[in-house]
Amino acid sequence: MSRRRLSLRAAFAISLAVTPIALAGCPFFVPFFIDRDGDGVGNSTDNCPNDSNPTQADTDADGVGDACDNCPTTANANQADTDNDGVGNLCDNCPTDSNPNQLDGDGDGFGEVCDADDGNPGVH
């Protein structure tokens, strides 16, 4: 009997070293609090699990927290960013040309990178 207890104890000790993802299918596994970004909100409910955002602010209510939302004032749950400039397509003034600074010298709504007639407002 003592051998069996030792084996159960050893198995339990080993299970603590295994990641919760690997144990998720085990009916006896009770997940413990994991907070990858250290903001006090567990990953399972954190709207930005890789970026600290203790208030969980989500201005555009798209389910993605402002701290990691590439378009925080316009709802874009899929976070599409065709040109990979860090600005979401729905709020990017040049969605197919990378322009992370979103400069628009003539104020016509088209970024300087993709505005053929920059300096002439109203002409694109």
Give the span between the Cα atoms of 25 and 12, in whole angstroms. 16
Q: Tell me the pLDDT band of 124, cut-offs 50, 70 and 90.
A: low
Give the span between the Cα atoms of 43 and 53, in whole angstroms. 12
Residue 16: count other Cβ atoms within 10 Å of its Cβ.
8
Angle at 84 between CA 83 and CA 88, to 5 degrees: 85
Report how many domains make up the chain.
3
40-93: per-residue pLDDT in tens?
A: 999 999 999 999 999 999 999 999 999 999 999 999 999 999 999 999 999 999
What's the token pair of residue 4? Answer: 């069996």
- Residue 107's region, left for phi above 0, alpha for psi from -120 to 50, else beta, is left
Do 49 and 16 share a structural domain?
no
For residue 119, give its domain range: 80-124
What's the token pair of residue 68? Answer: 């990691």
pLDDT reported for residue 17? 44
Do 21 and 46 share a structural domain?
no
Give the mean pLDDT of 98-109: 94
In a domain, 56, yes or no: yes
